[in-house]
Chain A
Amino acid sequence: MSTINDIILKGRNENRDALLEHEAKEVLKKMGIQIPPSILAQTEEEAVDAAESFGYPVVMKLMSSEVLHKTDEKAVMIDLNSAEDVRSVYQDFENRFKHVNVAGVLVEKMVDKGLELIIGTNTDDDFGPVILFGVGGVLVEAIKDVVFRMCPTTEEQALNAISEIKASVILDGFRGLPVINRNELAKLIVNISKLAWEYKDDILEMDINPVIANSAGLHPVDARIILK
């Protein structure tokens, strides 16, 4: 069992300035944060076994420090519904990324649609680690509906932050959207702020985007940790 420090050290030893997604998620897991079930497959058979064990649909993502913009490079395939789908994606990845150093293919249980939120952290010159919460997804930088707190944050501060975003009203079951458990969300924010604070010497920035919020709960489906 590797610790958070081990995972960070591995990244550093490989001269990387960021953790790979599966490593970042492993770090979150160590903080007690629930993430969708996933397995880093090294072979096509492992990928199929993983998918079969989770049940369909699944998502497959190529884990490589040379492929950072996974969506742009079509290194993320979603809504795969059968062993055939998994095999064909695996083979496609093998073909297209044969000249790239790869850690494996992350096979992950696909999360049902929901509200897309972002929780992130950054290191501020004046205030040290700060945490951001807001409306997530690919439009996050355009919508800019976010709020900051200093790390580590308390549950009370996190709850206030949640109610401060302009879109706060959509968390309460707006037009058929799921009702988001604000206390659970606050706990998640607190937990991530703790991570940024405790590892402030190592972690420069963090993006958990999106955190999908649906009727089943909160699901960090992508995670990015930038090292100092």
Chain B
Amino acid sequence: MLRVMTARLKSYFNAESFCVVGASTTPNKPGNVVAYNFVNYFPGKTYLVNPRGGELFGKPLYKSVLEIKDQIDAACIIVPAKYAPMTLEQCGQKGIRNVIVTTGGFSEAGEEGLELQKQMLEIMKKYQINVVGPNCLGLYSPALGYDTMFLPASKLKRPTSGPVSIFTQSGAFGAAFIDQLSRLGSGKWVSKFVSYGNASDINETDALEYVGKDPDTRMILIYLEDFKDGRRFMEKAREISLTKPIMGIKANRTETGAKAGASHTAALSSDDEIVDDLLDDAGVIRVITWDQLEDCVLAFGTQPLPLGDRVAIVTDGGGAGVMASDMVSDCKLSLAEFSPESQKKMDEIFPSFYATGNPIDITGSATAEDYRIALEAAYNDPNVDSVVNICIPVIPDLDIHKYIEITKEIAKRKEKPFVTSLVGGEEADFAAAELLKEDIPVFTSPGRAVRALGMLTDYTKYLKSRGVDPRKVMVEEGK
């Protein structure tokens, strides 16, 4: 297949006419959901195809793409695998160059499926068709009204438009993560979503190349199990990570160990260690667990990058402060030493039993006003690069509503990363929900909050090591 120089996914997302092949009249069937999505949200022209003909959502059902007179820029094929080659052939004859095949039952499903995928490849070559899939959710962009995710909106909630582009090998991961993002904070997160499934044609590297160039994508989140084009992926990632953060999961870490070889080098070449080092070298922030991915979105999607690694911790509980401090060193961060001015201010105002070092422990006697004084002292201090705001709201004199207001005020300044951890029960949950509504990052444990700062700071360190000013990379501005 010809590798055209422009990112191939661009012609999918830029399509002005779209055809749903396999539009179903049965509610909630995949072909019905995708037809609904395009008829209702896609600003371009939508055509629906179903061999039985008739009408759906007020649009005629063409019996075949070949019956349609107008030009079609992109299509989604949602038919059983055995009919897919014939359908693709017709798309080729019609001159459709960009096709998404969401159906499963191909190379992932044994001999027969593999044979079907081979047939598809022949047809792709013959007509020079680009294919996303098969066996995937396809593409989603809320701003473009582009949605081939065949799960009904009553089940899979859609996040709205924002700075994050996501690409994933696993459709199920994609569906779950999209659903999660829909209820994270304001839900305004997604720019482009690409689920490429079996990657018979368009693969992880094509997706990376596209979102790397896409001006609406401010950060890139990935889920991979293997590489189809690993070398080019690393080369592209190295370029792109200088302007947008790339982060995500490369799962399948234990599948293969080092293969026996004749050299020490071969004996030391475990697949995952190589992947880990190359991702690191390419500036990709690798996380291991699912919860870290959501933390990534919250941290990178809402906060400016820190300019250094010096963290200030404000807490009303000693234990939480100690655990946060431990995580500071685990994440290769450092505890800030306050400037004499901030130190003096706190020492003058606070009672002597408050600890005004770092962590600043305003104890179980803390009021919301104490939080204001401590948080402002830390936030305004030039020796502090980022601030952790820990609150265990069970203490008697703390007005939680005031605390929420104070936290919001500081969070809105966005001069440096500011993360909050609310630990406890009902009141903690209430405060967390209030803050998250405005996309103020709140984490369920102090460790998670600090770890989020660790990821931001790792990226700052990487940019600095490559001679890039971290202030030039602005993700949250896109929100």
Q: Give chain A's interface residues, CB within 8 Å of chain B.
A: 17-18, 118, 120-122, 124, 126-128, 130, 132, 134, 140-141, 144, 146-150, 156-157, 160-161, 164, 205-207, 209, 224, 226
Contact = CB atoms under 8 A, between A and B. Distances in A.
Contacts of A124: 230, 269, 271, 274
A207 B263 CA distance: 6
A116 to B, nearest CB: 12
B261 A150 contact: no
Contact of A147 (B266, B267, B277): B277
Given A144-B268, A160-B281, A226 B231 contact: no
For this complex, into which size category does the number of interface residues on chain B fall? 20 to 34
Interface of B: 226-227, 230-231, 234, 261-269, 271, 273-275, 277-278, 280-281, 465-466
A134 B268 CA distance: 11
B265 A157 contact: no
Given A124-B274, A127-B274, A206 B230 contact: no
B446 to A, nearest CB: 28
Nearest to A144: B268
B268 A127 contact: no
Contact of A150 (B231, B262, B264, B465): B231
Interface pairs A-B: 6 shortest CB-CB: A120-B265, A126-B230, A148-B277, A205-B263, A207-B263, A126-B227
A124 B266 CA distance: 9
- The winner among B227, B268, B271, B281 for most chain A CB atoms within 10 A is B268
A12 to B, nearest CB: 16
Contacts, number: 84
Contacts of A160: 281, 465
A122 B277 CA distance: 14
B263 A127 contact: no
A146 B265 CA distance: 9
Contact of B269 (A122, A164, A224): A122
B268 A132 contact: yes
Given A120-B268, A205-B263, 4 more contacts: A124-B274, A130-B269, A132-B268, A134-B268
Contact of B268 (A128, A141, A157, A206): A141
23 contacts: A118-B264, A120-B263, A120-B264, A122-B263, A122-B266, A124-B269, A124-B271, A126-B227, A126-B230, A126-B271, A126-B275, A127-B230, A127-B278, A141-B264, A141-B267, A146-B268, A146-B273, A147-B277, A148-B277, A157-B281, A160-B281, A161-B277, A209-B264
Nearest to B229: A126
A53 to B, nearest CB: 32
A206 B227 contact: no
Contacts of A157: 281
B262 A226 contact: yes
A124 B256 CA distance: 12
B231 A126 contact: yes
B473 to A, nearest CB: 19
A150 B268 contact: no
A130 B268 contact: no
A205 B226 CA distance: 23
A98 to B, nearest CB: 27
Contacts of B264: 118, 120, 140-141, 207, 209
